[in-house]
Amino acid sequence: MAKSFNILLLPGDGIGPEVMAEVRRVARWLAAQGIARFEMEEAPVGGASIDADGVPVSDATLELAKAADAVLLGAVGGPKWAEVDYAIRPEAGLLRLRKELELFANLRPAQCFPALVGASSLKPDLVAGLDILFVRELVGGVYFGEPRGIETLEDGTRRGVNTQVYTTAEIRRVAALAFELARQRSGRVCSAEKSNVMESGLLWREEVTALHAEGYRDVELSHMLADNCAMQLVRAPKQFDVILTDNLFGDLLSDEAAMLTGSLGMLPSASLGAEVDGHRAALYEPIHGSAPDIAGRGIANPIAAILSFAMALRYSFGLDGAADMIESAVAQVLDGGLRTADIMADGMAKVSTDVMGEAIVGALAKRAA
C-alpha cells in the first residue's frame, strides 16, 4: 500500500492560493497513480490569517505545522496589510514559522531549464545546464544576533547596531546538511564567508574544515570569499555544485543566482530543520512573493510552487522518482512552447495558471502511460 503523508497547505495571500491550486492538482494525480497518499489540511497564513485571527500565524496553525510531515506555503503579503503594526505584518508570520520550527537550513536550487536558457541575463553557454544548490543558514547570523537596535547618542546623532554571531553548533549543523546533500549530487561543496575581515567568518571556515576532516572527506570542499563568490557566479556559474553560506551572504548570493535562471516564477525553495526521531521539520515555498500586481487574474506562473512540492517529495518523503518525474514534466511542457506571461517569448503560446498546471499533469500522464 502507498505510504501516506500529512501535508499542511498554507496558501497565504495574492497569487499564493492560485499557484497552490495547481500543486493540489499535481498531488491529486500522484495519489490517483497510487504513488503516495496525501492527507492535506489547509490553514491561513500572512494577511489571510490577520483577517481571520488578528495575527499573521496562529498558535493552532503552528501546532499543525509542527505535526505535519511537510508544510507547503504559497506567499504572504500585499498592500491591504501595508499599514498593520510591524510586529504583526504578514511577513512576521513567515519568520515565526521558520523560527518556531527551527528551520536552520534554506535550500535553493538554481537550475536553468534548457527551454529558458534565453531568458537568463547571462550568455546561453554560461547557463545551459546550470545546476547549483544553495544551502543558506537561516536562523542565525546578523539578522538575529544581539545586541541590535537604533540608539540616540549624547550628541543627538544616532547609531544603528546589528551583530553577526555564529556558534560552532550553528555552523556545523548546516555544514553537515550541505555535505550530505552534496553526496546525492556531484559531491562538491564551496563554503563562502569573509574570513579575511570577520572573526565569525574565520570561525565558519575553521569549523567547516574540521567537520569535513572528521566525517566528509569523500566530498570535495573548497572555500571562497563571499565577494569573490558573487563575482564567480556571473563569471562562470557552472563551476559550483553546492554553495554553503551564512544567512546574510546566502540572502544576497542566492538572489543573484536566481536571476541567472530567468524568472522568479520558476524557483522553488525548501527550509529544513534538524532530524529528530526520523522526523525533520520542513517548509517548502516558491521564492517569489504574493505578486499583488497580477493576483486574481489567473496568470501567475505555478511552476515555482509545483517544483517546491517536488522538493518536498525528494527531501521529506523520500520519493525521488516522483520528484524527478515532475521536474521532467515541467521541462517537457516548456520544451513544447507553453509559457505563462512572466516567461513569455516570441513564438511561444501564452497560457494561464490553470492551463500550465493541466499541461504539467498531462505531461506526467504521458510519461506514465
Binding footprint of ligand NAD on the chain (CB under 6 A): 15, 19, 75-78, 91, 94, 264-265, 285, 288-294, 300-301, 304, 340, 342
Residue 227 appears among annotated catalytic residues? yes
- Rounded to a whole number of angstroms, the minimum distance from the CB of residue 349 to ligand NAD is 16
Residue type, 266: M
Judged by beta carbon, residue 195 or residue 308, the one nearer ligand NAD is 308
Contact yes or no for 72/8 (Cβ under 8 A): yes
Q: Catalytic: which of 53, 131, 255, 354?
A: 255
Q: Which of 53, 80, 143, 354 is catalytic?
A: 143
Q: Phi and psi dihedrals of 297, rounded to 5?
A: -105, -5
Q: Is 59 a catalytic residue?
A: no
Given the complex with ligand NAD, which of 250 and 265 has the nearer CB atom?
265
CB closer to ligand NAD, 137 vs 342: 342
Catalytic site includes residue 194: yes
Q: Cβ-count burial of 209 within 10 angstroms (0-12 exposed, 13-18 middle, 19+ buried)? A: middle
> Which member of 194, 241, 284, 342 is catalytic?
194
Question: Active-site residue 324, yes or no?
Answer: no
What minimum distance in Å lies between the beta carbon of 292 and ligand NAD?
Answer: 6
Whole-angstrom distance, CA of residue 98 vs CA of residue 71: 11
**Measured from the CB atom, is 164 or 247 closer to ligand NAD?**
247
CB of 10 to ligand NAD, least distance (A): 10
Indicate the burial class of 367 (C-beta count within 10 angstroms; 0-12, 13-18, 19 or more): exposed
Question: Shortest distance, CB of residue 199 to ligand NAD, whole angstroms?
Answer: 31
Angle at 26 between CA 368 and CA 108, to 5 degrees: 105
Q: Is 251 among the catalytic positions?
A: yes
- Of 53, 131, 251, 354, which is the active-site residue? 251
SS (H, E, C) 165-228: CCCHHHHHHHHHHHHHHHHCCCCEEEEEECCCCCHHHHHHHHHHHHHHHHHCCCCEEEEEEHHH
Choose between 95 and 331: whose C-beta lies nearer to ligand NAD: 95
Which residues are designated catalytic? 143, 194, 227, 251, 255
